[in-house]
Structure 1
């Protein structure tokens, strides 16, 4: 009798495990993590009440991707789900992620500050999960602080400035004056442009700091005409993440010259005025979910992160993370980014190679890589860190 009871218990347990496995195979869960008190989301109003550079969480882009997957979901017999978790900047992300992993989550979209992202990637470096960086452009995350399971769907600063530099060379604007602000992001952006200029032999005629101040002693660092005088240049590159200074640069430079960088002609992953390769339809789908603003680069990065994984599952017929990971970096992989060139992730640093859009406030002027800039393998690798110059040591 006891032997019979043990047999029945074992059989029941085995059946339960099979049922759990089948249930898990029918659901594929993505988790979106954000810092609810991230300073980047704060409304920064100037003394007149103007809001210049408002940023938003990118969850809406992820929701668009999940909604798009419904037809494919039925054909695959898999339900794609999205979990949203919001913590404080100093919250216990490690415990939350561990809990989600234990509940079957395999892919995480991380819309969090770079420092927190670095801690998470180190903690879960050996876990069979995929982590997507959908906001941070820091070059070091693609170099010395890279990780085997950290994928970047948002372009790096270097990719953005390489795209901009290509356009400047194409137009013959090879003498550039740099104006950089005091913020950390300002210096990261300006430093990346210096590297891009060096690569394409653009001459930096001077690199000057600006200061937002009413102090008469700082007048030479806040007056646009004074700050841009004394040298000859074809274009002014402005690194101003706050947007307060750069909005006054146009039409006030000492020489009548165009402006690029954080104002004027700006390089981004996505812009609402992009009108080719299915972009209007994507913007419309986003507008059905987010009615109060246009789709931005971070929204697009969340969207393409989920789309990349679903594409891998469809083409490999596997939900195994190692299979998905190999698909993403495979030379033959093509992911439709709605920007033209077929894309894939670089095997040496897990960065999504992708076209970059160069836009003004209401139009996309060009798409990089610019015609004439060639690479021996993939022209998209003319932007960002190529294999030979990358300091990332991961082995996929």
Structure 2
């Protein structure tokens, strides 16, 4: 390349960027004080979630250089104990209209219901509560993390495929444990199965010293089963159940075979390249929360590039249309359900070191999309905010 040609390219690039249209994306993170648990846990990364948004921003920014957009990521952290609504109201008053949020279901609904958020588009990157996709759905709230029912359905498909139909459950004492247990019960019923037995976790002591003595007795009276389901969403006691049960059986749920939105062990379909880029940027493995935020920002970039829309209403319409597809490195393009705003995505079933299956599994068919075998389908949806009828 000669010097004059290189100079011409540089000048053209500078002119393009000088006239670039700026598109603002806001990442809002509610920090919480981790709850006390029985075991000593490694603290979650301080950039959990936001690291995925940053990576996606860098990727769509590269495309924006050639299409005339300059993407800017604004990050807002609401500390533990600090009021949430005043912080997000300030962001909205400052002009934010595309929001990627890591917060609880309660706070997401408070945000979505703010008058100033009526013309905003909010992406839920981490909250898995089914009610956000059901009776408590909001038209301005989309979801890029799988629901509990999607995760549970992935596990049910795997159990049914393996013909592991005799199932029992150990449920933890926390609200999120009960929510996941409820999703598992409903999913088993959906696929024609049922629990043969269920027990509530009964210990409040550190199990590191007594697991080998107490857990065999605790599980001794469970009915004969093929698979032991564990609902322990905080990662509290489940690690001590493995290899300590009265009879040797595989575990699944929150421990053992775990249905996740994303995991560091996903490698196929170009995922290894995404994992490598994330590792280079964040210095750690990509987690489900990171993928949820990545998918939200990537979806915004894809919608801007493909639709030509710049307003929130136009972007939302495109995201919920049949035209939208996002390459999500999970083997099937991702899209949004137009009846509740949930992103359709395959669910990897993973152990600590490998993917053992990816739902929807072969043989689970659907008239519209096999991905809609995971989670609440349109006929069963309680969401009335999107107006979809087919």
TM-score with structure 2 setting the length: 0.88
CA gap of 1:254–1:90, structure 2 versus 1, over 3 A, is same
Cα distance, 1:319–1:250 mapped onto 2, change above 3 Å: same
Structure 1 stretch 55-64 or stretch 356-365: which is displaced more?
Answer: 55-64
C-alpha contact (below 8 Å) 1:187/1:239 kept by paired residues: yes
Root mean square deviation, CA, Å: 2.4
* Mapped pair 1:28 → 2:28: no
Report what 2:180 is aligned to.
189
Aligned match of 2:264: 272
In structure 2, distance between residues paired with 1:52 and 1:249: 19
**How many corresponding residue pairs?**
365
* C-alpha displacement of 1:169: 0.2
Q: Using the alignment, how far apart are the partners of 1:25 and 1:105 within structure 2?
A: 18
Greater shift, 55-64 or 351-360, is seen at: 55-64
For the pair 1:51 / 2:41, whether they are aligned, the reply is yes
Distance 2:164 2:42 in 1: 28
Aligned residue number for residue 4 of structure 1: none
Work out the CA distance in 2 between the residues paired with 1:104 and 1:303.
22
| Structure 1 position 55, deviation (Å) | 5.8
- Tell me the SS of whatever aligns to 2:113: helix
Which residue, out of 379, 386, 389, partners 1:395? 386
Deviation at 1:207, TM superposition (A): 1.5
- Measured in 1, the distance between the counterparts of 2:293 and 2:314 equals 21
Check whether the contact 1:52–1:242 (CA below 8 A) recurs between aligned residues.
no
Aligned partners of 1:187, 1:208: CA distance in 2, in Å?
Answer: 12
Aligned equivalent of 1:68, options 53, 56, 59: 59
Find the aligned partners of 1:166 and 1:124 in 2 and give their Cα distance: 41
Is the Cα contact below 8 Å between 2:92 and 2:116 reproduced in 1? no
> How does 1:65-104 map onto structure 2 within 5 Å?
65-104=56-95
User: What are the residue-to-residue correspondences of 1:231-246 with 2, within 5 Å?
Assistant: 231-246=223-238
**8 Å contact from structure 2 (residues 142, 343) kept in 1:** yes
Alpha-carbon distance, 1:395 to partner? 2.5
In the TM superposition, residue 24 of structure 1 has moved relative to its aligned partner by 10
Q: Which runs of 5+ in 2 are unaligned?
A: 1-16
After superposing on structure 2, the runs of 4+ consecutive aligned residues of structure 1 that deviate more than 4 Å are 22-25, 44-47
State the alpha-carbon separation in 2 of the partners of residues 316 and 80 from structure 1. Answer: 16
**Greater CA radius of gyration, 1 or 2?**
1
**Offset of residue 225 of structure 1:** 2.0
1:179 maps to 2:170? yes
Counterpart-to-counterpart distance in 1, 2:45 and 2:185: 26
